[in-house]
Amino acid sequence: MTRGEQRLSITGPSGALQLALNLPEQAPRGIALIAHPHPLQGGTMDNKVVQTLAKTFAGLGYASVRFNFRGVAGSAGVFDDGAGETDDALAALAHARTTYGDLPVVLAGFSFGTFVQTRVAQQVTAERMVLIAPAVARFGTGAVPADTIVIHGEEDDVVGLADVFAWARPQQLPIVVFPGCGHFFHGRLPQLTRIIVGMWR
């Protein structure tokens, strides 16, 4: 749990859906919905990259909303290969919109969470997307908007950098590569924040 964080449980598509909120000091300029890594590989909303994204967007003035996919911690249900997890994300976003209003939406995700967010983007008009270590090879992440921020570690042994370039090349999509960095960005989280903040408009 991060400082100033609020946690709650709402009714989601499979029952209880656990949420965590990080709020800006002023009225939010938008909503940042953040999705975590693969539930069957230990991914939760308390993953350090996901927490870093939440704090980064709160600092940029967004109401940061992250959630545990179905079957993780306090969220009911079982893993559903991305389909049910997309519904979970949409439920979390609907709650945020009810709470904070119809504000611009940023979709951010890490690893498996990027796959879910590309599915969410087919139903929600996003102000912008931020994809960290996108799971392009395993889950077939589709095309994304041209201004999407994509950040990847050079030495990622979960999602190969070559696979990310192969996905990005037809889209002419720039990739920010962290040299000497693995999948989980150990020791590089402050740099991750600086890059996102520096690329924001």
Q: What is the pLDDT of residue 77?
A: 98
Q: Worst-scoring range by mean pLDDT, 37-41, 136-140, 190-194?
A: 136-140
Q: Cα-Cα-Cα-Cα dihedral of 117, 122, 126, 128, to 10°?
A: 60
CA 171 to chain centre: 21
pLDDT at res. 3: 60
Grade residue 155 by pLDDT with cuts at 50, 70 and 90: very high
Detail the DSSP E strand segments found in 23-171.
Answer: 30-35, 62-67, 105-110, 128-132, 149-153
Question: Is the distance from CB of 144 to CB of 129 less than 8 angstroms?
Answer: yes
pLDDT of 4 reads: 73
Residue type, 13: P
pLDDT in tens, 33-50: 999 999 999 999 999 999
Nearest to 10 by CA among 105, 84, 74, 83: 74
Mean predicted confidence (pLDDT) in 100-128 = 97
Mean pLDDT value across residues 94-122 = 97
Characterize the bridge pairing of strands 5-12 and 15-22: antiparallel
Domain borders along the chain are: 5-194
Q: Give the CATH class of 5-194.
A: alpha beta
H or E, element range at 16: strand 15-22
Mean pLDDT of the chain: 96
For the residues 46-61, what does the mean pLDDT come to?
98
Residue 137's pLDDT band (cuts 50, 70, 90): confident
| pLDDT surpassing 90 at residue 198 | yes
Supply the pTM of this predicted model.
0.96
Q: Which whole-number Å values give the CA distances from 103 to 28, 100, 122, 162, 192, in the listed order?
A: 8, 7, 18, 36, 25
Q: In terms of C-beta density within 10 A (0-12 exposed, 13-18 middle, 19 or more buried), how is residue 123 classed?
A: exposed
- pLDDT more than 70, % of the chain: 98
Q: Work out the pLDDT band at 121, boundaries 50, 70, 90.
A: very high
Pair of tokens at residue 70:
């179905």
pLDDT at residue 2 is higher than 60: no
Alpha carbons 17 and 181: distance in angstroms, whole number: 33
Q: What is the pLDDT of residue 104?
A: 98
